[in-house]
Amino acid sequence: MVSEIKRVFRFFFDKDPLLVYSPGRINLIGEHTDYNEGFVMPAAIDKKMVVGIAENQTNQGRIYSLDFKEEFAFDINSFGPKKGHWATYIMGVTAQLQQAGYQVRGFDMVFGGDIPVGAGLSSSAALEAAVGFALATVFEFGIPKRSLIHYAQKAEHLFAGVQCGIMDQFASVMGKKNHVIRLDCRSLDFDYFPLNLPDHQILLIDTQVKHSLADSAYNQRRQECQSGVSAAQKTNPGIQSLRDMDIALLEEIKTQINGKVYRRCLYVIQENKRVLDSSRLLELHDINGFGEKMYASHEGLSTLYEVSCPELDFLVDFTKPLSYVLGSRMMGGGFGGCTINLVERGHTELLQEEISAAFSKKFKISPNFYLVTLENGTSLI
């Protein structure tokens, strides 16, 4: 892909580019905790976006997408979102840098990637991070990584119109090879924990479905969590989010909230603890214990938070009797997308064959499979 981006760049712009990559991400554990100011455990992976860039001495951003086989140009001094178009992400990052006072000049760009779109691996966050880093490098802006993360997130909010948390961009920029990141979504403090897997592999199984419930349910879950917080604040004004609550306090307010709100809050409080417990298990190199936390996370997501679906539950349940699968859970917002699985080396092909046959028979669609490794974050090539 790198050599192809170089070749296409020379063809269109007759010069050599500066090359930057930014990876997609997985989330090992800690789902729907980010907007509750809790903890998450993402990692950057070996699927990535690659951007070639050079200054062009004009007032235009001239872009070619390798994946869409499409050209696009915009005036650096006058542009706005183009809803549903891939260039919106690039223009969004450009706008954020300009608003922060950086003098973005005309540039040529070619980009492409091998992050599967729609699988929940954050291809948009990877593109935003790569573009921000490329612009900062080619124009020598010297932007700190934390600022790049915020500009990428704001580009998604303001240009793409998606109110994402900070996790995706953070993991893409700050990833570290063979490590996961434990990120505090309130303070943005973070720590790396080793996830060396000499005997296991991370296999993503993509249901290839996305149920229409996803968007409305996301907003509803946020409201339900806030209802629990509001009830707790009546007697505990210091409570800011579910991050500040424990199960004892939840039990105290149980009569003031409905059963659904109780279950949502219970899941988030338990999941935050699971992330912290999982960190300690990784320090002890207890991969079996970590796998058990993954299964527990899925159980909570399915029964308490109710963001799973039959396809995801089927994939997780299928692995439970298999001694060579240590853990499995849905990953992402829910109602479709991927499960993430810890599988013993030497058994991944067997699992793919067996689960594909069973899944196809039940749902009349074949899942996709992605083996991933943990890699470094956004960088120059």
- Average pLDDT in the chain: 95
Residue 377 inside a domain? The answer is no
Write down the catalytic residue from 14, 16, 114, 168: 168
What confidence category does residue 80 fall into, taking pLDDT thresholds of 50, 70 and 90?
very high
Are 352 and 280 members of one domain?
yes
Would residue 379 count as lying in a domain?
A: no
144-159 confidence digits (pLDDT tens): 999 999 999 999 888 8
**pLDDT over 90 (residue 163):** no
Residue 162 pLDDT grade (very low, low, confident, very high; cuts 50, 70, 90): confident
In this structure, are 138 and 241 located in the same domain? Answer: no
Domain endpoint, select from 150, 167, 194:
194
Amino acid at 132: G
Residue 357's pLDDT is what? Answer: 98
Q: Provide the pLDDT for residue 214.
A: 66
Three-class secondary structure of residue 142 per DSSP: coil
The residue among 125, 159, 194 that closes a domain is: 194
The domain tally of the chain equals 2
Domain check: are 162 and 125 in the same one? yes
Indicate whether 226 and 341 sit together in one domain: yes
Residue 244 among the catalytic residues: no
Beta strands in 127-275 (DSSP E): 179-184, 190-194, 200-210
In a domain, 380, yes or no: no
3-state secondary structure of 188: coil
Helices and strands per DSSP (H, E), number in the chain: 11, 12
For residues 280 and 368, membership in a common domain is answered with yes
| pLDDT of amino acid 283 | 94
143: domain CATH number is 3.30.230.10
Q: Is 113 helix (H, G, I), strand (E, B) or coil?
A: strand
pLDDT band at 358 (very low <50, low <70, confident <90, very high): very high
Rounded mean pLDDT, 57-82: 96
> Are 133 and 226 members of one domain?
no
* Domain identity same for 300 and 215: yes
Residues 278 and 339 in one domain: yes
Of 3-12, 93-102, 211-220, 239-248, where does mean pLDDT reach its minimum?
211-220
- Predicted local distance difference test score (pLDDT) of residue 158: 87
Q: What is the pLDDT of residues 5-51, one digit of tens each?
A: 999 999 999 999 999 999 999 999 999 999 999 999 999 999 999 99
Q: Do both 363 and 244 map to the same domain? A: yes
Whether residue 228 sits in one domain with residue 104: no
Domain closes at, from 161, 177, 194: 194
- First CA to last CA across the chain, in angstroms? 12
C-alpha pair distances (Å), 4 with each of 9, 19, 67, 95, 112:
8, 12, 11, 28, 9
Q: Binning pLDDT at 50, 70 and 90, where does residue 218 land?
A: confident
Percent of the chain's residues with pLDDT above 70: 100
218 and 296 together in one domain: yes
* Average pLDDT score over residue span 326-335: 94
Instruction: For residue 368, tell me if it sits in a domain.
Output: yes
Per-residue pLDDT at 367 exceeds 90: yes
Q: What is the mean pLDDT of residues 301-309?
A: 97
For 17, the domain range is 2-194
Residue 132: its H or E element? helix 123-138
Read off the DSSP letter of residue 115. Answer: S
Give residue-wise pLDDT tens across range 220-267. 999 999 999 999 999 999 999 999 999 999 999 999 999 999 999 999
Cβ proximity of 253 and 244 under 8 Å: no
User: In terms of domains, do 212 and 125 share one?
Assistant: no
- Is 381 inside a domain boundary? no
| CA dist., res. 129 & res. 20, Å (int) | 10
Kind plus residue range of the DSSP H or E element containing 225 = helix 213-233
Decide: 48 and 26 in contact? Cβ < 8 Å. no
Q: In the 8-state DSSP scheme, what is residue 80?
A: -
